[in-house]
Amino acid sequence: MLRSLKATLGFRIESTDGSCGKVRDFHFDSDTGALKYVVVGLGFRYPWRNVLISADKIVHVEWRDMALCVNLTRTEIGHSPLISADPPIYKQIEEQMREYSAWVSHWTPLSGMPEPEPAPHRRPGSNRQSFKHLLGYQIDTLDGHAARLADLFVDDGTWRVRALAVEMGRQEQAIILTECIRSIVCERRVICLEIDRAGLVSAPVHNPFLADDDTLEERLKAHYARTLQHA
């Protein structure tokens, strides 16, 4: 079944020996859609400390009780690595731009040092995106700007990102398979799709106020099976 990642933000973390923190974000592989980390805010135990928990430590999710159960103790969670240990792409860009701003403020052609490089770039092999940072990204179709990203949906069995929800109105969202994504441009906060506006308008819709939508996955399969057949 497909589940909303946005609805999972704020779920409490249940360790093997009790509750410890809440879900603040998810980091996933933008090439495969596989979840890489859960970002956990530890709250009053470690103020302002957000740590990374590997996705393979997830045991299961209690959707009705709003709890994400992990195979770690509270002490192990408290000593998990910070986001800076393996930052997503947008964090890398922010750090590079801070360094550039500090460097360029005192650089001169007579300093004997190479000119700073203003163009941000990701680390080699880095392809992790932050779900929370992607919210609100502009959605561009083949024929121009269309909407903004409202949510991502994952398979609750594999924790792989399967679809994105695009704002279509106050009470409905168009659901697009991740296979339709052409590129994600963090520098401009844009997600480019391989479909046109007509394809976006004809996509299955979802009511974000529904706790569960048991029919969503089947509607997506049926819609895109017809789309590919007539492509």
Q: How far apart are CA 123 and CA 176, in angstroms?
A: 29
Residue 15: the pLDDT is: 94
Residue 118: the pLDDT is: 57
Residue 151 class from Cβ within 10 Å (0-12 exposed, 13-18 middle, 19+ buried)?
buried
Residue 114 class from Cβ within 10 Å (0-12 exposed, 13-18 middle, 19+ buried)?
exposed
Dihedral (Cα; 205, 210, 215, 218), 10-degree rounding: 50
CB atoms within 10 A of CB 90: 19
Residue 119: the pLDDT is: 57
What the chain holds in terms of domains, given with CATH numbers, is 2-85 (2.30.30.240), 132-229 (3.90.50.10)
Q: How far apart are CA 61 and CA 121, in angstroms?
A: 35
Low-confidence ranges of the chain (pLDDT < 50): 229-231
CA 50-8-17 angle, to 5 degrees, is 60
Residue 108: the pLDDT is: 59
Residue 231: the pLDDT is: 44
Residue 230: the pLDDT is: 46
Q: How far apart are CA 134 and CA 196, in angstroms?
A: 21
Q: Radius of gyration over alpha carbons of the chain, in Å?
A: 20
Its pTM stands at 0.84
